Amino acid sequence: MVQNKQRALRVAIVGAGIGGLTAAAALHQRGIEVAVYERAAQMGEVGAGLQMGPNAVHVINALGIGEQFRKIAAEPGVRVSLNWNDGAVRVREQFKGPMQEKYGARYHTVHRSDVHQLLQSLVPENAIHTSAHCVAVENRESGAAMRFADGREIEADVVIGADGIHSAVQTAVFGTSPARFTNQICWRIILPMEELHRCADMLPVPLDGSEYTGWLGPTGHVLFYPLRNGELLNIFAGRVSQQWADENWAVPSPIADLLEAYAGWHPALLHILSKAKEANKWGIHDRDPLDRWVKGRIALLGDSAHPMMPTLAQGAAISMEDGYALARCLELGRSNPDAALATYEQERRPRATKVQLQARQQFENNQLVPAPPPLPVDWIYGYDVVNKPLKLAELA
């Protein structure tokens, strides 16, 4: 179906998370009419730290917010891997410098809400609609339609489901696909960086908070990395578990439960964890890769298409790649949205699937004793969605 060239292409996005807002910003940047529909009553991204590999930073720079981003992010100088029990150094490698040299962009760590606010600033305020709970979508002869819980209905040339692991769009178009509990539970904590500095004499190796530090054990791993130019210490504590499977990430957890989960780990780690005033705990879920992301004028993006384990720290980055690639494809195929969406699926589904599956494999490898070296990530970090050549798909 060829689009009428006399008016702008209209794209509706369900979900105003990082993937949805990246798509909206990149579409708006290209003069494509976009509207975002968010279920929550007000904008505001929950969460804690994010890792932005060079592949994600390419997108940030292309959107024109690189300078603002660097002001609110941190750039770890080195990556240090420590044994869970005695704190001995397993691996130490330089991050700052080599990342730019090898991949053409830096590696940053940042608060999720800060990234969310930056992306939101690129989308016209009147293009974002809150309290818009999408309950159904369908293809129509002239495009696609969305229906909301309050009975409202809107039509667009293209509808994008960026509404997360419980995607209403995915369910409506492709049917129910149950989430898989990955046997991993996690805690998220943010502390003032001073808490790390105060226990310097307890640490097995000198750490000043500028490092990306991982404590690796057979039953889990704990990550430390800086946020907001080193003002904050983000802690991600992952634990292997067969029992607790709640996937609501914002479940308050007693600090005593956290400390019990890491009993026997290095005293310095436990001391730092004990400084938490509050912690949220959740069960990690993903889904098996989908065979299709596109049906008619409806397409999936981000966690609605490929929820993945956090083992490679690529969930947000791959969603941002999706959003930018979608905009490039729709720009290339303005007059033929069907071909544009086919191009998008051909470009994105194989890559996201490969990352999904490697994240699972890395989780399994981390539990082996001794743990093997990390799986290769050059192919992840070295990918440049901004400049990758595109060719519009030929439809049968």
Does residue 111 contact residue 144 with C-beta atoms inside 8 Å? no
Q: Tell me: the pLDDT tens digits for 184-201?
A: 999 999 999 999 999 999
Span 108-125, average pLDDT: 97
Is 225 considered catalytic here?
A: yes
Q: Calculate the CA 59 to chain-centre distance.
A: 13
The pLDDT of residue 3:
52
Say how far apart CA 211 and CA 188 lie, in whole Å: 18
Mean pLDDT (the chain, rounded)? 93
Structure confidence at residue 46 as a pLDDT band (50, 70, 90): low
What pTM value is reported for the model?
0.95
The pLDDT of residue 367:
84
| Cis before 370 (ω within 30) | yes
The active-site residue out of 225, 262, 324, 381 is 225
Non-local (6+) Cβ contacts of 374 within 8 A are 362, 365
Name residue 33's beta-bridge partners: 10
Q: Calculate the CA 97 to chain-centre distance.
A: 24
Closest CA to 234 of 242, 223, 250, 220: 223
Say how far apart CA 364 and CA 209 lie, in whole Å: 28
How far CA 309 is from CA of 96, 162, 218, in Å, comes to: 25, 18, 17
Span 16-39, average pLDDT: 97
The pLDDT of residue 317:
98
**Model confidence at 246: pLDDT above 90:** no
The pLDDT of residue 176:
76
Q: Tell me: the pLDDT tens digits for 310-325?
A: 999 999 999 999 999 9
Does residue 351 contact residue 308 with C-beta atoms inside 8 Å? no
- Among 173-187, 350-364, 373-387, the range scoring the smallest mean pLDDT is 173-187
The pLDDT of residue 248:
57
Span 106-115, average pLDDT: 97
Alpha-helical runs (H) found in the chain: 18-29, 54-62, 66-72, 98-103, 112-120, 168-174, 194-198, 255-261, 267-274, 315-332, 337-366, 378-381
Does residue 161 contact residue 295 with C-beta atoms inside 8 Å? no
